[in-house]
Structure formats: C-alpha cells, structure tokens
Amino acid sequence: MLKLYDHPLSGNCYKVRLALRQLGAPYEKIHLDIFKGEQHSRSYDAVNPNRKIPVLVDGDFNMWESNAILLYLGKKYSPNPLYPDNLPAFGGMAQWLLYGKTSIDPNLAVARFMTKFLPPESVDEKRLNELRAQGGAVLRVLDSHLEHYDFLAGEYSMADIACFPYVNLAPEGGIDLSPYPSVILWCDRVKSRPGFIKMDE
C-alpha cells in the first residue's frame, strides 16, 4: 500500500491527500511532527534529504515535492480525468502546477506560515507585506483566468488540486480573497467536487 509522510496542517500534504481520495487510492499516513523538528532526525534523511513533507512511498520507490507527487499519482492511476491525456489540457495542467510552485505557494504559503505559525516578534513585517502584495498579484492572474474557465486547465484536474490549498488558506496569511470573486467561485467549485475532503479530514 502507498504511504504518505504527512502533517494535518500542511497544505502541501493536503493536496496529496485530496488527490489520493479523489483517485480512490488507499494509503497509510505516517505522521511526521514538523513542529517538533522530526524532519531533522537522522533516520528521515534517507526518506527525504530535503527534510520536508510530503513524501510518497510506493513500494521500493519514494519521492518528494508535492506537485511532482500529483503528476506521479495521475500517471500511476491513468486513465483518470485528474490527469488529462488531451495535449492542450495536459499542457494547461503542467502550466498551473508550475505556476503553483513558482508563484502561488512561495507567496501565499509563506505569508500563511509567517502569520499563523511564527511568534509575532520574529516576523519580518516588511517581508510579510511584500509577500502579501505579491500574493495579490498572483491572485489577480488566477482571477482573470477563472473569469473564463471553471477550472484551471478547463476541466477539473491535478492543477486545481495543486493550487487550491494555499489559495483557499490565503486569509490565514492575512490576504483577503474578496477582491477576487472568480477565485472565490472556483474555490466553491473545488469544494463541491465528488470526494472533496477538508484539510482536517
């Protein structure tokens, strides 16, 4: 059975849990307490030398980087609509998976981390304000795309699963979603997909 090194408050782990549920793939969770520093133990080095979660273990193979895990799962359980075969839809999915990792998560996830998990006295307010401003620019890009499309690559796919967690969690980073109505409607559509699970499920 697949195994997932996981933490319930991690948006990167959540996207993998959501994909596994919507693919109907059984798996075992291995809780890693990143707030207690378990990612820095010597034994975890062999699991992920980058010392982060999520990590997916599939038999003798293990891998890290959440959006790469989504691609792996999409192909492993192919054919399935989350991993489109049609070339433009595949290209769109790949584009948004990379935009997620290069633009969405570095701003929205880091703003959330600094706001929700760091002691206030250690927060660099200037950097946090920059992240919030850049996060707004990222949300404007998403909003203008989602004015025209129900889902990022046209149909619901791994792209939506990859981008949803930290967009939906943006208010926890002090980023208001109300200026981005198409993003809010997209979040609602993602939440109403069959097999949707909340972050704490």
- Residue closer to ligand GSH (CB basis): 11 or 173: 11
- Residue closer to ligand GSH (CB basis): 54 or 74: 54
The single residue among 58, 65, 150, 155 that binds ligand GSH, judged by CB under 6 A, is 65
Q: By CB under 6 A, is residue 12 in contact with ligand GSH?
A: yes
Q: By CB under 6 A, is residue 34 in contact with ligand GSH?
A: yes
Burial of 173 (0-12, 13-18, 19+ CB in 10 A): buried
CA-closest candidate to residue 21, choices 66, 82, 67, 68: 82
Q: By CB under 6 A, is residue 39 in contact with ligand GSH?
A: yes
Q: By CB under 6 A, is residue 112 in contact with ligand GSH?
A: no
- Residue closer to ligand GSH (CB basis): 92 or 100: 100
The single residue among 17, 52, 112, 132 that binds ligand GSH, judged by CB under 6 A, is 52
- Residue closer to ligand GSH (CB basis): 16 or 175: 16
The region, left, alpha or beta by phi > 0 then psi within -120 to 50, assigned to residue 24 is left
Coil, helix or strand for 97?
A: helix
4 close to 47: Cβ distance less than 8 angstroms: no
Task: Provide the 8-state DSSP code for 170.
Answer: G
Q: How far is the CB of 52 from ligand GSH (least distance, A)?
A: 3
User: Of the ranges 10-18, 70-78, 91-99, 190-198, which one interacts with ligand GSH (CB under 6 A)?
Assistant: 10-18
The single residue among 22, 27, 47, 66 that binds ligand GSH, judged by CB under 6 A, is 66
Rounded CA-CA distance 42/38 in Å is 9
Q: By CB under 6 A, is residue 22 in contact with ligand GSH?
A: no
DSSP string, 10-79: -HHHHHHHHHHHHHT--EEEEE--GGGTGGGSHHHHTT-TT--S-EEEETTEEEE-HHHHHHHHHHHT-S
Pairing of strands 2-6, 27-31: parallel
Q: How far is the CB of 180 from ligand GSH (least distance, A)?
A: 23
By beta-carbon distance, which residue lies closest to ligand GSH?
52
**Where on the chain is the footprint of ligand GSH (CB under 6 A)?**
10-12, 34, 39, 51-54, 64-67
